[in-house]
Amino acid sequence: MRGRRRAPGQGGRRRVGRGVGDPRGLRGAHVTVTEVRGIGVYVRAVTPTAAQAQADFRVLLDVLSRPGVLGRVGRGDGPAALAVAAGLADVEVPTAVLTAPGEEHWAQALHLGTSAPPAAPQAARMVVALRPPAAEEITALPRGDALHPEFGARLIAAVTVLEGEGPVPSALEVPGARGPGVVLSLSGPGVPGARRLRVAGLPREVFAALAAANADFPAGVDTFLVAADGTVAGLPRSTRIEIENGEH
């Protein structure tokens, strides 16, 4: 039996339904195939394979359990921080993506590729910062509470440089090494004594706000810092952060 012919003007269009991510509030609207194909390029750029996502997840668990120790995740052709988020996001994780003007297509790609529902940062379970967040944005993130710490947000922040300990070569391992960025002293569970971590690409005010947000453990925000080459560090909410020096 032949299928029903489309009415004039309906060819090449699709309807956004429950099974399709809706990053631009298009639920129930029509989207052209050209639009879907265009954003598909970015979806493919940030979506890891199942094997890569599993490998990355093991790295993320490791760096979160050993604050200040660096690991390395795989990356596609897009921002490494977004590739990390794509491996963690799903339909049950309201997600906010902070982008610079003109970079909104990366947010659309994450929502469409993972079906993670878009949310405002103050209501999100995961926040991906492709641009430096303001201190006020960190302060507004969900932290959960003593009874429900699982409601605290997970922050994945893009940085330009990460230097610390671990299998990734680091200038911080050289005595007297100096460089741009913020130097953090980390202590707490998973840290024997203290570890130092240099981060470039985020102002010190962000780390001051993060330290304040995590002052009422177990409530707080778990953070991953991801450099463009896939170098990653974890800052769990249980970690005490002291700022040794850094740029404003």
The 3-state DSSP class for residue 231 equals strand
Q: Are 106 and 97 in contact (CB under 8 A)?
A: yes
Residue 5's pLDDT is: 42
Q: Which residues pair with 242 in a beta bridge?
A: 185
Rounded CA-CA distance 204/243 in Å is 7
Q: How many CB atoms lie within 10 A of CB 170?
A: 19
Q: Does domain 30-245 have CATH number 3.40.630.10?
A: no
Rounded CA-CA distance 149/3 in Å is 53
The order of strands in the sheet holding 240-245 is 161-163, 195-200, 182-187, 240-245
DSSP 248: -
Nearest to 109 by CA among 130, 134, 92, 132: 130
Query: What is the amino acid identity at position 236?
Result: P
DSSP 115: -
Q: Which residue has the tokens 């944005």?
A: 137
Rounded CA-CA distance 223/207 in Å is 11
Residue 194's pLDDT is: 93
User: What Cα–Cα distance (Å) separates residue 54 from each residue in 47, 189, 224?
Assistant: 12, 25, 17
What are the residue ranges spanned by the domains of the chain? 30-245
Residue 6's pLDDT is: 41
**Global confidence as pTM:** 0.81
| Mean pLDDT, contiguous 10-residue spans, the chain (248 residues) | 42 39 42 60 86 93 96 88 91 96 94 94 97 97 95 97 72 50 94 94 96 96 96 97 78
Residue 75's pLDDT is: 76
